[in-house]
Structure 1
Amino acid sequence: MADYRDEFSAVQRSAVHLEMRDSYIRTDPGFIAWQGGRLDEALERYGEWRELMQQVTGRGVAVRRARIVSEPVSDYIRYEYDLTEQLNLAGGEEVRWLPRRRASDIALPGNDFWLFDDRTVRFNHFTGDGGSAGPEVVEEPAVVKLCSTAFETVWSRAVPHEDYEV
């Protein structure tokens, strides 16, 4: 959370996040709690994120998150879906979902990313089993443009959370 706090404290206008995996850290205690029917416990684990987003959006920064998902969705995506309203939306984020079959003709970067103020990209690298392999921060204009174009194309096709059904 500390590096995200630093990055979000510097954001002035916008932060967009593109997620493209069907599964992340399957050993995450929040995911395990959700699997056991304990949604409240899963939500508690991310209270710090919701508070950070409330602070960021409260100062006028637009935060948008798009998720490209296979259908039918994986159990991990269903978990993210179940948390979205009380976590992401409650934090002030806008969230949309794009079925993977509608993304085939979009030029996408190879990794999930955050794009801050259309100038800095933070790629999130993952291991094959969904564990974090660390971030990579890039400010190269061609990379920023690829990520911006990819995100905006996905966003324009994606379904708002309140209209998407898993």
Structure 2
Amino acid sequence: MFLKAEDWVKYTASFQHSAFRLELHSVYTMADEQEEFQRFLSGEKPPADLHYPWLDKVANAVQSGKSMQRVHVVKQPLSDYLRYEFEWGYAFNVQAGEDIRILDVTGRQVAGLPDHDFWMFDEETVVRMLYREDGTQVGRDLVENPDIEEYKRYRDIALYGAIPFQTYWHG
């Protein structure tokens, strides 16, 4: 079932225990990031007090005992977008309490990963994230009757070889 924006927001706000995100793309084309991305490309560092709504969502979830975890699968050399995302996004997400890990698959294959990004909430609800080749998000699809064991395997495979973001990225 295709999720409209307002329906999607409910999932990221109403999970009870855990939210897990798997990211597979080297570029995510987000209109609201373009100005910051250009600043990054020109060599600007993020302001020390950079703040955006996601940080509040993460901090509130973690303070209430929920876990928010993400694994991003990458290959070297990192795209400009990934370097931007790491420096202007992930570094702040981690400070807010999100457990972000990086699975670098440069020069190797990792069997068993899916071919799509997804969120899994409370190990029972799965939302596939849909993107064009250029990284533009085209939708979110609530997976009806997902094979939860399969998605848990995807998560576990990604986590097995991933390292904490702070260990991976020294910005």
TM-score (norm 1): 0.86
Structure 2 distance, partners of 1:164, 1:37, is 21
Q: Please say if residues 63 and 94 of structure 1, whose CA atoms lie closer than 8 Å, have aligned partners that are also in contact.
A: yes
Match among 135, 139, 149 for residue 140 of structure 2: 135
Match among 37, 42, 49 for residue 36 of structure 1: 42
In structure 1, what residue type is equivalent to 2:95? Answer: A
Within the alignment, does 1:14 sit opposite 2:24 as a pair?
Answer: no
Structure 2 distance, partners of 1:150, 1:102, is 20
Aligned to 2:116: 111
Match among 91, 97, 100 for residue 92 of structure 1: 97
Aligned to 1:68: 73
Deviation at 1:16, TM superposition (A): 0.5
Deviation at 1:77, TM superposition (A): 1.0
Match among 136, 144, 149 for residue 153 of structure 2: 149
Aligned to 2:60: 55
In structure 2, what residue type is equivalent to 1:117? Answer: D
Structure 1 distance, partners of 2:106, 2:86, is 19
Structure 1 distance, partners of 2:42, 2:30, is 13
Deviation at 1:32, TM superposition (A): 2.2
Structure 1 distance, partners of 2:26, 2:129, is 14
Deviation at 1:10, TM superposition (A): 2.0
Q: Please say if residues 109 and 146 of structure 1, whose CA atoms lie closer than 8 Å, have aligned partners that are also in contact.
A: no
Structure 1 distance, partners of 2:75, 2:22, is 14
Structure 2 distance, partners of 1:103, 1:51, is 36
TM-score (norm 2): 0.83
Match among 157, 163, 167 for residue 163 of structure 1: 167
Deviation at 1:163, TM superposition (A): 1.1
How many pairs are equivalent? Answer: 162
- Which structure 1 residue ranges, 5 or more long, are not aligned? none
Percent identity, aligned pairs only, is 27
Structure 2 distance, partners of 1:7, 1:26, is 20
- Which structure 2 residue ranges, 5 or more long, are not aligned? none
Q: Please say if residues 106 and 150 of structure 1, whose CA atoms lie closer than 8 Å, have aligned partners that are also in contact.
A: no
Considering only aligned residues, what root-mean-square deviation do their CA atoms show, in Å? Answer: 2.3
Match among 63, 79, 82 for residue 77 of structure 1: 82
